[in-house]
Each structure stands twice: as structure tokens, then as C-alpha cells.
């Protein structure tokens, strides 16, 4: 196997609970994924990242794991999982497993034993601290609201949880814990998987006493140790989820000389519609020039030693076309623009399920319709602070995680969008009648086919993978860049805005590889870009 295969890969992210239900219980499952491998092969993707399907009480939809080496029965069995790995391989698709090792579920046997008394050998698998003056050890807050410390009355200490209190943090300072994790990783590697996506991996070097959680002092040492004891010699792909990364930090993770990870997810561009330093529930309009600056910074900044991941959305974020495009009158144009802009950049692109058909956010009108623990906790917190329902629902509709988690829209003419024959665990977006896979497969001009073409270009032109990247000077709301290799030159232009823009570049008249307004020829010396217009042209 080629060592750096992941540099050429296009990754598709499946949120299993919402992809396809094969046994009519309203919950997506492994058989449902297997049933759609041909679809994914047709799209052209070469790796599949699966959100967690291990045994879990499901407080945080699988990110609270109670057994790392078993499949949760709601998703199927280990036999189904092995079948998925093997069937995917036959289609040239590698399976990337979600590795959640910053915390477990409070129902994991390690934690249950850890709670029994202060001296048992699992006590130190988690992070326990004495009360200070009868209170929490310090001010650390949980990402999902409230204190990050929970008191255990049986043993008289607090345990740390950076997410919900049912997700106790593991203590990575304990070498026995680290060995247990590596053993579990090797168990999965032996099944023939293609790699791991490492959940909130930048938190494992935490020091709760100094309150430094992300980018702690032992983080890179732990990753090097993990690399050496698990995937290091195995051409696997690894992508770390690192909310706290800067380009400099991302290079530490992804420089091959350092033997850590293949790449990381950085989130700077997904936070530009938040007010500075005020977190995800503070909203401001997206500034297109800022977006261009940030994406460009990462393209330039990771050169030459690092490697970028390229993505607009995932299961934690609003839908791409709703967050960065216009999900109403320009839904098709802006969804294609986002695809063209991202997929011709340097790095490994990720497509989140439904993005390839331009699925949109799915607004709700009451908290009763909300499933996600993060949104529900925030709702109660804000209620206590005196906010009214409408204000809070507006925030949830803008940034809540359920937006991305509604069932995949396969068919326009079936109840529940062809996701299941039974009422799904989460509502289906009513727009499935017009936004669905079936219709787009039939339409050669669909968003789906734009993605398919872009993936194909990446496979056929090494330039897209390896070519250099440089920004081209244009109007603020227009993003243009050049990719170059061995004399071949590709120009990519995207109008990020819903307004007309002028483009004047000394490249004459060219024929595009791809465009979202179906143009045959473009006079680059003087061109009027329409709302969200985008194209890529090879310069001759
Ligand atoms: O996400 C990490 C994380 O910090 C998110 O919770 C993020 O803060 C929020 O969703 C968006 O603002 C990972 C997983 O992707 C997420 O689904 C899990 O809930 C979380 O870790 C805990 O495992
Ligand atoms: Ca099912």
C-alpha cells in the first residue's frame, strides 16, 4: 500500500445514526451503510470516516463509549462491521474509525471500578481531585455547560469531565491507561481499517490544576508514543480533531519527520460567524474577506512540512450551504461554489453526508424538537439567565448540532425520505421532496455531479494533490488562487458573495474545467461574476 495514500484521498463522513436504517427501527445502522457503498463508490470517495458505533449509553450519540471493542447493538454486530470493512475495501474505500480517548462513558467498566474506592487500580485511569474548601477544585467549565467537576459522594472526591458529566476524562498521565488505549487501537488495526479520526485529541495533554486543557505540555509526546506503538509503521491515515490549533501547532502534528498524525482538523473558518472569544452561541454575520484570509492563511501556513484537511462542515457544525452559502435562492449555485473552491485546494477534502446534495440546516420551533445534549444544556442555562425561548431557539437553529444530524435524504417520493420506513430518531428535513439523492443522480447538472467531477479531477491530475498554491489578488469578496506544477497552471475563482463582482486578470480567454453557471468560455481579462459564481480553468 502506498504510504501517503491519504494525500490523494477524498474522505466521506458518515453519521451512522442518520445515514440509512436497514431494519425499520428508525435508527441508521451498519447494514444501511453497506447498502450504499455503491453510491459512495460512484461518487468516487476513497475513505469513509464513521462516527462512533461502539457500545454506548448514547448521552452524546456515541461519544460516550462504554465498550471500545464491541459494536452497539443499535448499529449491528462486529460481524456486520467486518463485512463493512471488507465490502468497502473491494470498492477501494478505506474505513476510518472514530477514536474517542479523551474520555469514556461513566458506564465504562474502567470508570465503574474507578468509583469503587480510592485505592483500586482503575482509580488513576480518571482525573480525581479533592474538594477545595468544600467546593469544586477550580473554575474549569464543561464544553456542554456548568462546572467540569462532578462530586462523587462515595469516595469524597471530584472527577473531571470536559464534556457531559456522563463523559469522565481519562488520565493520560497514567502509563497503564495509555497502554490499554494502544492495545484497543491495535485490536481495530488488525481488523483492516484504514485509520483513525482522533476526537478532541488536543485535550489529552491536559493539566486541570493549571487549567491548561488544550495543547498541554505532554500532548506531542503522547502522540509520538501512540504513533510508535500503534499506527506508525502501518500506512494508516490519522486526523486529529484540534479546536485549539494554529498553523504552527498544526505543523507539529502533521510534519512527517515528527511521527505524529497525518493531519488535523482546524476550525478557524467555522468560527468566523461568532463574536470574538464569546463561543459558539454568539452570532455575527460572516465576513467573506475574513473567510478568504483565514483559508489562505492555512493553505500558505502549512507549507512545506504540514498537510491540510479541507472541510466546510461535520456532525457538530451547521450545514455548509447554510453557514457559508445561501440555502434559499442560490442554494444550488452556492453549494457548487463551495465545492469548487474547497476541492481544488491543497490538502485532503472531507465531504459530510448530504453535503454532496446540498442539504440545508433544519430549523425547529420548540425545544421539544431538539435532541442534542449540547443544545439542550445551553437552553436550560440561558433560560436561567433570563433569555426568552425565541432567542434561544434562534441560536439553536443557527448553530445547533441537530442541523447536520437530520436523516440523509435519499428519496423525494417516500415518507421519511427513504431513510427508514419507520419514524426516525430525529425529524427529517421537510425539504427532502426537492433535495434528495434520487433526483440528483438523474440530473447531470446536479450538485452531486459537481462533487463527482471534482473528485475525478483530483484523481486525474497530480497538480490538484501536489501543486503549489498561491493567492491571486482580486476584489475582497472574490477568492482566487493558482495551483501550479511542472508548467501546468490551474486558476480557481469563486465569488463568495451574493453580489455581482468584476474580475480582471491577464489570462485571456479560457475554457473552464468546471463551472457552476455552465459557461463554455471565459474572458478573464474582463469578466462579470454573478452571485456565488465559481469556476476552475487551466491556463494555456
Ligand atoms: O467535538 C468536540 C467539541 O469540542 C464539540 O463538542 C464542539 O465544541 C461543539 O460540538 C461545537 O461547537 C467532539 C465530537 O465531534 C463531538 O460530537 C462530541 O460531542 C465531543 O467531541 C465529545 O466527545
Ligand atoms: Ca436500524
How confident is the prediction along the chain (540 residues), in pLDDT tens digits per residue? 688 999 999 999 999 999 999 999 999 999 999 999 999 999 999 999 999 999 999 999 999 999 999 999 999 999 999 999 999 999 999 999 999 999 999 999 999 999 999 999 999 999 999 999 999 999 999 999 999 999 999 999 999 999 999 999 999 999 999 999 999 999 999 999 999 999 999 999 999 999 999 999 999 999 999 999 999 989 999 999 999 999 999 999 999 999 999 999 999 999 999 998 888 999 999 999 999 999 999 999 999 999 999 999 999 999 999 999 999 999 999 999 999 999 999 999 999 999 999 999 999 999 999 999 999 999 999 999 999 999 999 999 999 999 999 999 999 999 999 999 999 999 999 999 999 999 999 999 999 999 999 999 999 999 999 999 999 999 999 999 999 999 999 999 999 999 999 999 999 999 999 999 999 999 999 999 999 999 999 999
**What ligand is nearest to the CA atom of residue 16?**
2
Give the bridge partners for 283, in sequence order: 274
Residues 6+ apart with CB under 8 A from 99: 185, 196, 197, 198, 199
Cβ 372 under 6 angstroms from ligand 1: no
- What is the rounded CA–CA span in Å between residue 352 and residue 320? 9
Query: Is 378's C-beta closer than 6 angstroms to any atom of ligand 1?
Result: no
Contacts of 115 (CB under 8 A, 6+ apart): 152, 154, 155
143 lines ligand 1 (CB under 6 A): yes
For ligand 1, whether the C-beta of 170 sits within 6 Å is: no
Active site residues: 199, 241
Residue ID of nearest Cα to ligand 1 atom 5: 316
103 CA distance to ligand 1 middle (Å) = 12
Whole-angstrom distance, CA of residue 289 vs CA of residue 471: 13
- 259 CB burial (10 A radius; 0-12, 13-18, 19+): middle
* Position in ligand 1 atom list of the atom nearest CA 373: 19
Determine what percent of the chain falls in helix, strand and coil, rounding each to the nearest 5. 35, 20, 45
Assess whether the C-beta atom of 199 lies below 6 angstroms from ligand 1. yes
- Gap from CA of 342 to ligand 2 centroid (Å): 33
Q: What is the pTM of this model?
A: 0.98
Mutation to probe ligand 1, out of 64, 144, 163, 399 (largest number of atoms < 8 A from CB): 163
Which residue's CA is the nearest one to ligand 1's atom 16? 316
Distance 200 CA to ligand 1 centre (A): 7
Amino acid at each position: 500500500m502506498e504510504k501517503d495514500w491519504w494525500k490523494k484521498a477524498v474522505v466521506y463522513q458518515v453519521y451512522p445514526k442518520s445515514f440509512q436504517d436497514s431494519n425499520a427501527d428508525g435508527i441508521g445502522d451498519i447494514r444501511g451503510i453497506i447498502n450504499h457503498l455503491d453510491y459512495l463508490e460512484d461518487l468516487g470517495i476513497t475513505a469513509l470516516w464513521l462516527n462512533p458505533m461502539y457500545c454506548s449509553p448514547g448521552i452524546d450519540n456515541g461519544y460516550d463509549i462504554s465498550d471500545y471493542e464491541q459494536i452497539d447493538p443499535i448499529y449491528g454486530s462486529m460481524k456486520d462491521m467486518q463485512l463493512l470493512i471488507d465490502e468497502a475495501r473491494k470498492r477501494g474505500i478505506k474505513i476510518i474509525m472514530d477514536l474517542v480517548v479523551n474520555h469514556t462513558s461513566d458506564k465504562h467498566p474502567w470508570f465503574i471500578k474507578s468509583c469503587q474506592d480510592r485505592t483500586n487500580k482503575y482509580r488513576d485511569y480518571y482525573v480525581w481531585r479533592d474538594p477545595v474548601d468544600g467546593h469544586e477544585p477550580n473554575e474549569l467549565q464543561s464544553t456542554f455547560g456548568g462546572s467540569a467537576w462532578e462530586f462523587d459522594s462515595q469516595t469524597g472526591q471530584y472527577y473531571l469531565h470536559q464534556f457531559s458529566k456522563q463523559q469522565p476524562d481519562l488520565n493520560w498521565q497514567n502509563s497503564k491507561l495509555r497502554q490499554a488505549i494502544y492495545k484497543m487501537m491495535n485490536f481495530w488495526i488488525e481488523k483492516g481499517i484504514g485509520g483513525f479520526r482522533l476526537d478532541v485529541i488536543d485535550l489529552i495533554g491536559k493539566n486541570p490544576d493549571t487549567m491548561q486543557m488544550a495543547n498541554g505540555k505532554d500532548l506531542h509526546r503522547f502522540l509520538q508514543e501512540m504513533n510508535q506503538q500503534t499506527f506508525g509503521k502501518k500506512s494508516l491515515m490519522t486526523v486529529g480533531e484540534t479546536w485549539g490549533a494554529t498553523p504552527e501547532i498544526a505543523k507539529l502534528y502533521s510534519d512527517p519527520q515528527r511521527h505524529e498524525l497525518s493531519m488535523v482538523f482546524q476550525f478557524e473558518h467555522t468560527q468566523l460567524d461568532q463574536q470574538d472569544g464569546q463561543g459558539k452561541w454568539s452570532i455575527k454575520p460572516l465576513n467573506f474577506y475574513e473567510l478568504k484570509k483565514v483559508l489562505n492563511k492555512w493553505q500558505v501556513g502549512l507549507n512545506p512540512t504540514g498537510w491540510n484537511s479541507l472541510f466546510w462542515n461535520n456532525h457538530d457544525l451547521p450545514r455548509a450551504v447554510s453557514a457559508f452559502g445561501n440555502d434559499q435562492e442560490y442554494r444550488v449555485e452556492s453549494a457548487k461554489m463551495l465545492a469548487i473552491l474547497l476541492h481544488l485546494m491543497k490538502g485532503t477534502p472531507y465531504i459530510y453526508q448530504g453535503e454532496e446534495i446540498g442539504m440545508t440546516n433544519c430549523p425547529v420551533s420548540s425545544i421539544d424538537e431538539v435532541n442534542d445534549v449540547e443544545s439542550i444544556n445551553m437552553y436550560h442555562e440561558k433560560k436561567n439567565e433570563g433569555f426568552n425561548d425565541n432567542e434561544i431557539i434562534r441560536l439553536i437553529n443557527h448553530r445547533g448540532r441537530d442541523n447536520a444530524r437530520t436523516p440523509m435524504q435519499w428519496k423525494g417520493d417516500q415518507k421519511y425520505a427513504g431513510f427508514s420506513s419507520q419514524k426516525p430518531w430525529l425529524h427529517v428535513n421537510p425539504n427532502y421532496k426537492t433535495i434528495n439523492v434520487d433526483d440528483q443522480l438523474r440530473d447531470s447538472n446536479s450538485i452531486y455531479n459537481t462533487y463527482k467531477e471534482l473528485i475525478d479531477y483530483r484523481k486525474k491530475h497530480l497538480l490538484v494533490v501536489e501543486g503549489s498554491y498561491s493567492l491571486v489578488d482580486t476584489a475582497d469578496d472574490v477568492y482566487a488562487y493558482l495551483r501550479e506544477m511542472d508548467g501546468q497552471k490551474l486558476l480557481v475563482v469563486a465569488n463568495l458573495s451574493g453580489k455581482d463582482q468584476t474580475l480582471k486578470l491577464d489570462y485571456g480567454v479560457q475554457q473552464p474545467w468546471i463551472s457552476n453557471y455552465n459557461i463554455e468560455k471565459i474572458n478573464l481579462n474582463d469578466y462579470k461574476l454573478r452571485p456565488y459564481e465559481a469556476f476552475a480553468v487551466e491556463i494555456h
